[in-house]
Amino acid sequence: MTRRDMLLAAAVASLWGFNFVVIDWGMAGIPPLLFVAIRFAVVSLAVLFVPRPQTSWRVVVGVGLFMSLGQFGLLYTSMALGLSPGLAALLLQAQAVLTIVIAAGVLRERPTLPQVIGVGLGVIGLAIVALGRGGDAPALAVVLCLGGALSWAIGNVIARRAGNVRGAGRAGSLSLTVWSALVVPVPALALSFAIEGPEQIRAGLAAFGWTAALSTLYTAVLCTIVGYAVFNGLLGRNPSAAVVPWILLAPIVAMISAAVLLGEVPTAAEAIGGAILVAGVLITGIRSRPGSRPRRHREIAHAR
């Protein structure tokens, strides 16, 4: 990678990492599922400018339900219950480990030795974080965030099982991200009515001020549309193995920004467990031998 591309990769990872603090800021007084519906309603406007992915609507709907609605509905709810932005960003990295496990069972993809080691380290890191949270993070919030990581992993496997987006090249993941956003607003709003209730929705809409608007624009426009456009350009110019590890900067940026701006300093267990988890994720991307055949499809890097 050139120095320019490395700076772009670091900038995108920083956008995605700071995203968690921005969500926390914008969601104050707004029900989480309603906030998810608003975010993806804004993202879906991009279908006016992005061509439809050349894949079946079943794939588009599956990715939308799991990679977007499931992941972010559970993530936003966990943060509304008190999970810190830094820890949320860290726990979502479990998606890489879970994707390998699910792909092994559903797609019969035999994991390589580095992937087995990485999965083992990831499980150990998650266990340390979970057992050593010291009451700082509500147990339900941790479980919901891990549920979001699982939903993201299922979405990854759906996209990989369908194959590469035909004829779209590296831009295919951006098209799939944008068009799958159409699936999210109505179910998210329906869930908000059923779980959060009309009164909370009315109060949330009344509390939707400039902070929530800026948060929505940041997450929808900068993180999703601009972030994916830049990231896909990087993938088009460089090997995936050189680009994808930069995503691991996202939880680091999230934890540092949460500590500086929100005063949420991670516990020793979160720091140690998080380092082990990130190391495990990094190891899973190592090829077991130079002549080994790469995995058929990269999961979409959706930690935006």
Report whether pLDDT(169) > 60.
Answer: no
Q: How many CB atoms within 10 Å of residue 20?
A: 29
Q: Mean pLDDT across the stretch 26-53?
A: 93
Domain extent, residue 17, equals 3-284
DSSP annotation of 132: T
User: Can you tell me whether residue 52 is helix, strand or coil?
Assistant: coil
74-109 pLDDT, tens per residue? 999 999 999 989 889 888 888 878 888 888 888 777
Within a domain: residue 265? yes
Structural domains in the chain (count) = 1
Total-model pTM: 0.83
Binned at pLDDT 50, 70 and 90, residue 303 comes out as very low
Within a domain: residue 299? no
Within a domain: residue 7? yes
Say what the pLDDT of residue 288 is.
Answer: 55
Residue 27 phi/psi, 5-degree rounding, is: -85, -5
Closest CA to 269 of 134, 162, 138: 134
Element (H, E) at 139: helix 139-162
Q: How many CB atoms within 10 Å of residue 35?
A: 27
| Of residues 43 and 302, more confidently modeled | 43
- Tokens read off for 259: 């500590």
Within a domain: residue 304? no
Within a domain: residue 289? no
HSE, CB side, 13 Å, CA atoms: give it for residue 173: 25
| Of residues 287 and 26, more confidently modeled | 26
Report whether pLDDT(289) > 70.
Answer: no
Report the distance separating Cα 197 and Cα 288, nearest Å: 51
Are 204 and 29 in contact by the 8 Å Cβ rule? The answer is: yes
